[in-house]
Amino acid sequence: MATPPNSSHASSQRWSSRWLFVLAAAGSAVGLGNIWKFPYIAGENGGGAFVLIYLVCIAAVGIPIMVSEVLMGRKGRSSPIHTMRKLAKVSSRSERWSILGWMGVLAGFLILSYYAVIAGWAVSYIWASGSGAFDGASAQAVGAHFDAFLASPIELIGYQTGFMILTIWIVGRGVTKGLETAIRWLMPLLFLLLIALLVYSFNSGGFGQGFAFMFDMKWEAVTADSWLIAMGQAFFTLSLGMGTMMAYGAYVPDDANLGTTVVTIAGLDTLIALAAGLAIFPIVFANGLEIAQGPGLTFVTLPLAFGQMPLGDLFGALFFLLLSFAAITSAISLTEPALAYLVEEYNAKRQRVAISLGIICWALGLGTVFSFNIWSDITFVGGLTFFDTVDYFSQNILLPLGGMLITFFAIWMLPKGLVDQQLGIDSPKLSLGWRLVAGIIAPLGVLAVFLSTTWPLLSGLWQ
Give me the residues that bind ligand PHE (CB under 6 A), please. Answer: 28-29, 31-34, 111, 236-237, 239, 242, 244, 330, 333-334
Residue nearest to ligand PHE (CB): 31
CA pair distance 88, 409, nearest whole angstrom: 9
CA distance 370 to 374: 5
State how far the Cα of 186 lies from the Cα of 247, in Å rounded to an integer. 20
Give the nearer residue to ligand PHE in terms of CB position, either 33 or 367. Answer: 33
Task: Write down the least CB distance from residue 255 to ligand PHE, Å.
Answer: 26
Give the Cα separation of 40 and 226 in Å (integer). Answer: 12
User: CA 410, CA 295: separation in Å to the nearest integer?
Assistant: 37
Cα–Cα dist 37/64, whole Å = 23
- Whole-angstrom Cα distance, residue 180 to residue 173? 10
> Shortest gap between Cβ of 155 and ligand PHE (angstroms)?
23
Q: How far is the CB of 28 from ligand PHE (least distance, A)?
A: 5
Which spans in 151-257 are helix H? 153-172, 181-202, 207-215, 224-237, 244-249
How far apart, in whole angstroms, are the C-alpha atoms of residue 448 and residue 463? 23
Sort residue 136 into left (φ over 0), alpha (ψ -120 to 50) or beta: left
Closest approach of Cβ 331 to ligand PHE, in Å?
Answer: 8
Is the torsion defined by CA of 20, 21, 24, 29 positive or negative? negative
We find the least distance from the C-beta atom of residue 269 to ligand PHE, in angstroms, to be: 8
For the bound state, the minimum distance from the C-beta of residue 272 to ligand PHE, rounded and expressed in Å, comes to 10
| Minimum CB–partner distance for residue 334 and ligand PHE (Å) | 5
Helices 63-76 & 416-423 angle (0-180, nearest 10)? 100
From 323, 279, 333, select the one nearest 299 (Cα to Cα).
323
In the bound state with ligand PHE, the residue whose beta carbon lies nearer, of 28 and 204, is 28
CB contact at 8 A, 326 and 32: yes
Query: How far, in Å, CA of 436 to CA of 430, rounded?
Result: 10
CB of 403 to ligand PHE, least distance (A): 10
In the bound state with ligand PHE, the residue whose beta carbon lies nearer, of 65 and 437, is 65
Q: Which is nearer to ligand PHE, 117 or 334 (CB)?
A: 334
